[in-house]
Structure 1
């Protein structure tokens, strides 16, 4: 066997794509596998110029000029006639005098890998799009907690500040003001945002079942218990936030259990012997005056001080009139989109809703707007579409058209009503004067005139 035939046999036995050119780009040696890669007979490539083959569309780009220019190993992706992708490596071959005389290249089919890469890139782009969409939705969700008034801006500023620490927060305010929504906002802006938000309605759980619901229980620990047991709220809140709503409704006996949980951050499930640790952030809420409940021995003082580290009071809607119109627009848009019914409020209805007292606070406003969107037969909602009790402007008109009183009496009545409302909203006569567009001494004089205290 000649020397060349031996090398040739070795070359073809490798079953690899190997191609050798001289410095002019002429192919001088080629393996049989190379022909299969480029879908030609290997012998047809011998003596051909890689530059001519590139022009014919057999493959591109070329290893030879890259190696000639760099004088070192190069690796790149090459595209062949049928669209396949090859990962090509070109190697320089030097003679004894250090002159580059040959370029050897070999390749591997990476078409599938390139397709996977492209798919991954598309997936990455899609994931970024979804993430941006989630962030947008999250931002929209945050914007539904309206805080346009000065009172609510202060509440939100405190909530944002306390969100960054794990201090216990006690949310105070009437039913329907948005305590649960504010608790969620604090959680979502905290370092525990990726953890669970576990809401516990203390007023809705029967007193006898509270311990089992809070701490969970082992299977068969009491009559009616689930066979495999059940995790309690405390365990579910691990690495997240536990929100104890209506905590003022707890019995003294269950208050002790909550106190111990807060102190130790550990507990035993009902019927269990293994102590479970739970790392959670605590937010509580109540519409009761807990300090008065403490005085009346209805709420434990030690628990009260544990909960009341950072108290945040959400004012009722009637004390933040500036939030009513933004709330109306936000939730009217929400319900028209949800029920696919375009509805707008007439000017008279907007007046009525802005002058209503809203004893049920934001929850009442939301319920009314949903009801109006669902039940109103026409695109424009007029006072006649409002339920009885919400038609404030009609009463105002009837008073204005009451000819049983003189013009002076009507003006005095209106002036007194305006002063009374200003006194409710503003703490000082200076601010009242700014809002009413009169001087501070005039405000003082008129308060005395109408005996408004």
Structure 2
């Protein structure tokens, strides 16, 4: 065997994509592996120009012009006609005078690696999104806010935005929507978070005592006054947040006092002659429609504008139904831990609760869940455990009201639902049997019957 034959045999035995071109792009040598990569007979490539092959769509970009221009080793990703991706390396070959005479290129199919890389990038983006959602959910749980609904997300975004600025905020919304909690959130996220959060329920303080409660009093200023006097709520709020809840309940006389307080951030104690300054941040809340009260001359317009610098309206629960089930689960977890009672809620109960109007909003929901945890006798809260006012017995799609099926069919559906919930909650057949009050073999048999895995 001649030296050339030996060289040729070795060259082709590599079974790799090896291509040798002149500097003008003419192919002068090609391995058999190259033909397999480009799905063409290797001999058909001999003498062809790589520029012509690129125009025909066989592959792109080219190693030859890159190497000719740089006179150095280059590595890049090349796309082949069938969509495959090749990692191509081009090498310059110089003669004894240092002139570039040949370009040698070889490649490896990296299509699968590129797809994996793209998949990993997509997964990374998705994981980041999930991580952010989990972070937000954790933050919401810590702050007792659940915001699956877009409306509530906008409310929380607004609260975060104003928290860092000492601007007067007016929280609006029906009773029980969470105005006090949102006021506390604004305080906690503000630069005054280390200071006090003083809540004043304007509707609960008798009008005759309002000034003394708000501003405090000097000793002996009136009959029954504590000897030595007492600090008022405004003074106690110094360097923190003063939250005026139910501000719409203020009498016109007390509205004047609050207006002067906001304007000057100073006041006199009842019976006192020394002006006291208090640096506080003001947040107010009301379930009244203050603008209508202004129009009816029941609320001072100048005070309204002082309070209403940044209004945030919290929607009623019936307008944020995406939050109802998450709120139920959140408070169910809270009260089961608080009272040390393991409870899960039947799917039928969740369906009924989701459809309620919730006129008392989140406060009503909290009260009901606490009541159910305490009063239900079994580990699963059933429709019969609901107070009568919360039973929607006329729901057209209720399993229990479907008289088009037999009793045995209805019972099987209920049994399947119960088993599915128990399996999801307790996982092991031993624990499920204990909770449902049946034997472990019965649990295994029933799970198999209903195809529950």
* TM beyond 0.5: yes
Alignment partner, residue 314 of structure 1: 314
Q: For 1:251-330, what aligned pairs fall within 5 Å after superposition?
A: 251-330=251-330
Partner-residue secondary structure (3-state), 1:326: helix
Q: Distance in 2 between matches of 1:402 and 1:356?
A: 24
The 8 Å contact of residues 351 and 393 in structure 1, kept in 2 or not, is answered as no
Deviation at 1:303, TM superposition (A): 0.0
The Cα shift of 1:246 comes to 0.1
Instruction: For residue 142 of structure 1, report the CA deviation from its aligned partner.
Output: 3.4
Per the alignment, residue 220 of structure 2 pairs with 220
- Describe the SS at the equivalent of 2:388: coil
CA deviation after TM superposition for structure 1 residue 397, in Å? 4.6
Q: Which runs of 5+ in 1 are unaligned?
A: 1-134, 404-453
Q: Name the residue aligned to 2:369.
A: 369
Q: TM-score by structure 2 length?
A: 0.57
- Please state whether the residue corresponding to 1:353 is helix, strand or coil: helix
The change in CA–CA distance for 1:142 and 1:310 in structure 2 (over 3 A counts) is farther
Unaligned runs of 5+ in 2: 1-134, 405-453
Residue deviations 1:70-101 (CA, integer Å, cap 9, x gap): xxxxxxxxxxxxxxxxxxxxxxxxxxxxxxxx
Equivalents in 1 of 2:338, 2:275: separation in Å?
46
The change in CA–CA distance for 1:377 and 1:402 in structure 2 (over 3 A counts) is closer
Q: Give the structure 2 partner of residue 179 of structure 1.
A: 179
CA distance in 2, matches of 1:140, 1:289: 28
Q: Does the residue aligned with 1:222 lie in a helix, a strand or coil?
A: coil
Partner of 2:162: 162
Instruction: Determine if the alignment matches structure 1 residue 189 to structure 2 residue 189.
Output: yes
2-side partners of 1:395 and 1:186: how far apart?
A: 41
Cα displacement string for residues 207-253 of structure 1 (whole angstroms, at most 9, x for unaligned residues): 00000000000011001111121100110000000000000000000
Q: How many residues align?
A: 269
Which residues of 2 match residues 388-399 of structure 1 at below 5 A? 388-392=388-392, 394-397=394-397
Q: Secondary structure at the match of 2:364?
A: helix
> Does structure 2 retain, via aligned residues, the 8 Å contact 1:177–1:317?
yes
* Corresponding residue for residue 81 of structure 2: none
What do the CA deviations read for 1:147-181 (whole angstroms, capped 9, x no partner)?
11101000000000000100100000000000000
> Does the Cα contact within 8 Å between 2:140 and 2:146 map onto a contact in 1?
no
Match of 2:312, SS? strand
Q: CA RMSD in A?
A: 2.1
Q: What is the distance in 1 between the residues matched to 2:357 and 2:269?
A: 46
In the TM superposition, residue 144 of structure 1 has moved relative to its aligned partner by: 1.9
Distance in 1 between residues matched to 2:351 and 2:392, nearest whole Å: 8
Q: Secondary structure of 1:392's match?
A: coil
Given that 1:216 and 1:229 are in contact with CA atoms closer than 8 Å, whether structure 2 keeps it comes out as yes
* Residues 216, 270 of structure 2: 8 Å contact kept: yes
Tell me, what secondary structure is at the counterpart of 1:283? strand
Shift of 1:335: 0.2
Deviations 1:372-395 (A, max 9, x none): 001111110000000012112553
The whole-number CA distance in structure 2 between the counterparts of 1:191 and 1:308 is 21
Give the Å deviation of 1:143.
4.4
> Per-residue displacement from partner, 1:29-86 (whole Å, max 9, x unpaired)?
xxxxxxxxxxxxxxxxxxxxxxxxxxxxxxxxxxxxxxxxxxxxxxxxxxxxxxxxxx
User: Does the aligned pair in 2 maintain the 1:142–1:185 contact within 8 Å?
Assistant: no
1:231 aligns with 2:235: no
Instruction: Check the 8 A contact 2:234/2:242 in 1, yes or no.
Output: yes
Distance 2:143 2:253 in 1: 40
